[in-house]
Structures are given as C-alpha cells and as structure tokens.
Chain A
Amino acid sequence: MPDLDEKALARRVEELLAAYPPETTDRLDFLHARFDAGLAWVHFPEGLGGLGLPRSMQPVVEKALYRAGAPDNDPRRNGIGLGMAAPTILAFGTDEQKQRYLRPLWCGEEVWCQLFSEPGAGSDLAGLATRAVLDGDTWIVNGQKVWTSSAHIADRAILVARTDPDQPKHAGLSYFVVDMHDPGVDVRPLRQITGEAEFNEVFLTDVRIPDADRLGEVGEGWKVANATLSSERVAIGGGAFPREFGMIGKVAETWRSRPGLRTPETHERLLRGWVDTEVARITANRLRQKLAAGVPGPEGSAMKLSFARINQELSSLELDVLADDGLRYESWEMRRPTHVDFTGRDAGYRYLRAKGNSIEGGTSEILRNVVAERILGLPTEHRVDKDVAWKDLPR
C-alpha cells in the first residue's frame, strides 16, 4: 500500500467520501472512518491514522475533504495534542499506547494539555520539582504545574516529573501520560495581564498514574521531553504567511481607514514595521524551502526572536496611532478562551498579549543563548548544576 501516488491517494479520499457521505454521516463516525482509512495524517504509519506517506502529501487529502464539505477534527481546540503529544507518542510509545491514545486524540474525543513548566522551573525546565514515586505498579505524583493552556478542557496530559532526586537534574526525570479526570488533579485559571485566563495552574495531589502510562524508560524523561519540544518548533516553523500577516495587518487597516490619525513619526514606525514583517515573511519562506530541500535551517530560534520584537513594536504603535481611542479597553472581564489569538480582540489587548511573545516557548534571552552557542559556536553559559544531584541544588 505505501508508495501511493497523489492520484491513488485522491482515489482513497473519494472512496471514503462515497462510503461515508458527510451530509448524512455523524461527525464523529466520519472522523473515525477517516482515521481508520489512514487519511488522518498520511505521514503516520498504517493502522495509526496514516499511510506512511510523505507529510507533503497531506494537502491532497485536506483539499479534497474541504471541497466535499467534510467535518474536520477542530484542530485549534487540540493544538497541544496534535502538535506535541502525538509525535511524542509515535516516537516513544509502545504499540499498545499508540493504539490506545492516537485515535481519540486525532478525532478530538480527547483533548490534551502539557504539564511541563513549574513556578520554580521556567527556562530551567530540567530543574522541575514535581515528584513521581512508584508504589507497586502505580506512580503517585505530587507537585504544581503552571502556564498550562487548555488544562480546563483537557482529558489527558503529557507530564514530566522527577522520579530520582539523587541523580543530576536531567537524569532523574520520567515522562508520563496523565488522566486529567483523576481526582487529584486540580485546575485553576491563571489570570494574566490581559484580564483573561488563557492558561491554568495545575495542582497535582497524590495523582495516580499506572506504570503502563509511562512514555519511554524511567530516567529518560528529558530525552522524551526534548522530542516534544522539537515537534513544537517544527509546528511553528512549518507555515507560510501571507503578506501583511499578523500585527502589521491590524495597524495597516487602522492606518488606511482613518487618515486623520496619521503623523510623520508614526508613519516612519509603520513603514519600518511593514519592512520588518515582510522580511520576516521572506525569511520564513526561505526556511521552508531549506526544510523541503532537506537542509536543516538553524533560523527557527532567530525567527522567534524577530516575531516577538515585531509584535511588541507594532502593537505598541497601534495604540499610539489610535491616540484617544488607544485609551479604551474592550473589557477586563475574566474569560477562559479555548485557544490563543495574538491578533484577536482590540488594540489594548494585542499590546498586552504581545508581551508574552518574548516569554512563551523560550524567552528571548534563552533564545539568544541558543543562537550564540549552537549557531555561532560561542562558549556556553557557566553551569553550576550540571553534575550535582538534584536534591543537593540550592533552591
């Protein structure tokens, strides 16, 4: 069956549509059928929603199903599951785990979240303190996680916890799948400077995880977590952007529709921001061309640095352009959105939300270290905690 060409793949989609006409098929039945036909993510193996085809053939499926009005799996609702948990499960899960997790994950029956960051472990993720202790064939987990998006709607989570505090920090970690409906899981909204709570704090008290739900070997948690984090980077670096994407589009719209607000100083900043955004768009395209040609591009970290800066500069400019109207704020009402929208809501929200862009997914300071050390080959930062047992580190 592998080595399907585009025509054969398109035929397979037609067969699915013929057997399960979208207009008369229940949404979930259709998604199950699509998964079982290997048309969920064609680059996954057969039997796990895919056909072992190149990832680049996925658009053949998506376009045909879109034209036919087929229901989708609402991917925005399960970004962590699809973008981070699934590739990690595929790489490190047992056959039994893959069979159990991937189908409900892809179909959206189970939303996933990620329990990595902690109040005491942000940039220094490997220093995390959440403990997992084995009791028979069950791990008992205690600790606190933070900045968890979707935790309030999630059914499962990927978790990194410390299983051996006598080892240096990287060596004593293990990776688990957690049932978010366990009575020991307490999810509380984490209200942020925008007024809403996009993220959560998750308190874990005697949460019970069967050893069968461990991903990878005991003590290999850091390796597995790195696979998750690099999937995140692939997911971020993969898209093509239109011209005037993101923040510049919002400011340009205001600029064009309200000529009375224009000043020479804001004009200069607007044009600089337009140039910076366009250059970032071109750079992202070049990165995609490199990846397609099999040349690994190290620009991902540098790109994120630029996006954070551009978003912050332009969202600030937008308030300056709006002048009197820049003083308004749509609403401070506490809400819990189910997905992130950097350019959603009003200018005040965008200004405040953009402050997170240089923190989430790697702070700009850490990313500069990454670029300087891994790309430019400059000396690494002095690390006092590398060869010390985790339990002996000052904290």
Chain B
Amino acid sequence: MTATAPADVRLLADDVETDLRASVRKAIDKHAPAERVNGLYDGTDDVTAPLWSAFVELGLPGLLVPEDLGGAGATAVEAAAVLEELGRAAAPSSYLTSSVVATTVLVALGDETVLPGLAAGELTAAVAVRPTALRHGPAATTIVGAPADVLLVPEGDALYAVRGATATVVPSLDMTRPLADVDLDGAERVLLSSDASAAIDRGLMVGAGLLAAEQVGVARWALEATVAYLKERRQFGRVVGGYQALKHRLADLYAQVEQADAAARYAAATIAADDPDAPLAVAVAASFCGETAVHATEEAVQLHGGLGMTWEHPAHLHLKRAKSDELLLGSPEAHRAVLAALVDLPGPRV
C-alpha cells in the first residue's frame, strides 16, 4: 500500500487567496498584455522589469519568506495563486525560479543572508541545476532563472552563493522563461551549507508542485480562449462551436482542466500544511498538470484553425510555455517514476 495517507485539506479558494489573485491579475493585465509578451520573441522586453516592480510592490517575492526575515510568511497556496495567474497570461517572471524554488531552498537551510534581499524584491536568485532536474545534482552551466543576482551553486553536498557570474541568455523554445549559459569564472562565492542536498530536493519538489498551478493557468486560458473563439467563428453559415465533433473535444478538455485544477490545489495545500502526503501529491500533480497544459494548448492551436498558427495570436505563447513547463523540474514520466516508489508499484526488474 501507499506510504502516506490522503490529507484532509481545503480545496476551495478562501477570501485571502481570492483577493490576492485579483491584485495579481490586475498587475499582469497592466504590464504583460499578450502583444507586449510577444515582443520577447523579437528581442524587445518591456514586460519583465515593470511586472517584477509591480510584484515587489504587492509583496509577492516575500510570500514564502518567514516574517522575521522580512517576508509575508504566507503559504504555498498563495504562491500557487500567483503562478496560476502568470500561467494564464504566459507572462515572463522569475517568480518560480527565485521566489519559489531558490527561496524554498534557502528557507530550508535557515539562511539569513540572502533571504531578506529576496523578500524585499531587491535581489533575485536561481538554483544552478539542470532545468529538468527534479532532485539535487551537479551544477549546470545552462540554467533557467538567470540572469539572477545570486546563483545557488551545488558542489557535491555543499551549496554556494555566487554573485557576479556572467549569464548569457540564449534563444529558448519558451522565451518567456529565459535560458542562460552561466560562467562562474571570477565570481565571488560564499559557502551557504556543506549539507544542502535535502534543501535542494525540497526546493525542487515545492517548485514542481507549484509549477502545476502555473500549468493549470496555462490550460485554463487555452480552454477559455478556445471556447470563446468557437462561439464567434462562423463557417458554413453557423457557429463552429455548435459542431458536435468540436463540442465533445471541448467537453473532454473541460473535464481534464477541472481535474488538473483539483490536483494542483491538493499539491499546494499539502505543501502548505507540511503534510507527509505532499511528495505524493506533487508527483501526481506534476504528472497530470504538465500533460494537461500541453494538451490544452495543442487543442487551442488546432481549434483556432489558421489563426492559431499565426505570430500575432497569443496561442503560440501558451503552447511554448506549456511544452517548456512540461520538461521543467522533471517530466511527467520522471514524476511517475517517483510516484512508483512512493506507492509501492515498482517496474519490472531489468
């Protein structure tokens, strides 16, 4: 049987979350409209910095930082709401890599040197492991989340804070999540911990669990945009959303997105409650939501017809975000391998 029992946690939004979500959406609508996000693919970024400033004003970077270090002492549930809104707009932000993953690693280490800067939004940080890693491993030279003020660089079981590294952004499948080659030569490095493996694992696990919320946001946008479009688009003298072949695809997609939403909420709630079931909940959510976002955005591109293939329509922003998110912090298959161990369903002996 499974090692942990299901947690009895709240799966509905409360007032705090609803209010937070509304302010985040307002900031994103103002600073990251689709046409401006599109500019990232043409080398113009007038989104990332103003959006980050708005996030700092709202106190979002410090949500997961304890209050005595200048943070809000909020929980994964609130951070998940922020990520879901980012996904909905496919907006660029280092919120996941800095305010969730790096922050969680540092909180787990009891750090007091970098966290106050992260909480205040004066600094950003990124963990220098492979973008697709779901457990601690050797330092990588191509990472997501850079440029960042502080890189958290593993060496064996140790973790160093590195400042002043060179980061060169390279073209990425999803330009809303920059990929960068980092060069640590000549950078200043300070030992944070000689035994950081568990903290890194924790950061990556929480990151994967909350990335699921972002994936729900991406998928929900795809569903809603497609339904709205098919209610307007006419061919053969009628609204194409009335064709049963399309209605049935959207009904199936709706069911899948609702389930992904529930799975992501369960993951965030178990992380927030520090429940022993959290690792299982994360493996389930990461596996399910990653594939849901990709499927939803692929459906959006197809059902928008030619429009979905154009550079102007935002469907491509979400498709690229979804596919890249699916690989990030462990593929669905990798998460199912984690799950297999947690629920005692081992594969064949090779």
Check A368–B11 contact: CB distance below 8 A. no
Cβ contacts under 8 Å, A280 to chain B? 259
A259–B241 Cα distance when bound, in Å, is 48
Chain B 1-35: CB-based contact to A (< 8 A → 1; otherwise 0): 11001100011100000000000000000000000
A contacts with B: majority SS: helix
Contacts of A236-283 to chain B: CB distance below 8 A: 242-244, 252, 255-256, 259, 262-264, 267-268, 270-272, 274-276, 278-283
Interface residue range, chain B: 35 or more
Interface residue range, chain A: 35 or more
Interface presence of A97 (CB below 8 A) = no
Interface presence of B73 (CB below 8 A) = no
Check A286–B252 contact: CB distance below 8 A. no
> Of B246, B255, B344, which is within 8 A of A306 by CB?
B255
Q: Which of A181-189, A372-380, A387-395 contacts B (4 or more CB under 8 A)?
A: A372-380
Cβ contacts under 8 Å, A377 to chain B? 227, 231
A-B CB pair tally, cutoff 8 Å: 134
Cβ contacts under 8 Å, B265 to chain A? 282, 286
How far, in Å, is B250 (CB) from chain A's closest CB? Answer: 6
Which of A371, A375, A380: most chain B CB closer than 10 A? A371
Check A243–B2 contact: CB distance below 8 A. yes
Check A283–B347 contact: CB distance below 8 A. no
Check A252–B345 contact: CB distance below 8 A. yes
Interface presence of A299 (CB below 8 A) = yes
B contacts with A: majority SS: helix
List the B residue with the shortest CB-CB distance to A281: B6
Check A305–B255 contact: CB distance below 8 A. yes
Interface presence of B336 (CB below 8 A) = yes
Check B345–A274 contact: CB distance below 8 A. yes
Cβ contacts under 8 Å, B248 to chain A? 365, 368-369, 372
Which of B230, B242, B250, B259: most chain A CB closer than 10 A? B259
> Of B241, B246, B260, B339, which is within 8 A of A274 by CB?
B339
Chain B 235-255: CB-based contact to A (< 8 A → 1; otherwise 0): 000110110101110111011
Check B5–A243 contact: CB distance below 8 A. yes
Q: What residues make up the interface of B, taking CB atoms closer than 8 Å to A? A: 1-2, 5-6, 10-12, 227, 230-231, 238-239, 241-242, 244, 246-248, 250-252, 254-255, 258-260, 262-263, 265-266, 284, 287-288, 333, 336, 339-340, 343-349
**10 tightest Cβ-Cβ pairs between the two chains A and B:** A379-B242, A372-B247, A302-B255, A371-B251, A368-B251, A262-B348, A286-B11, A283-B262, A271-B336, A267-B347
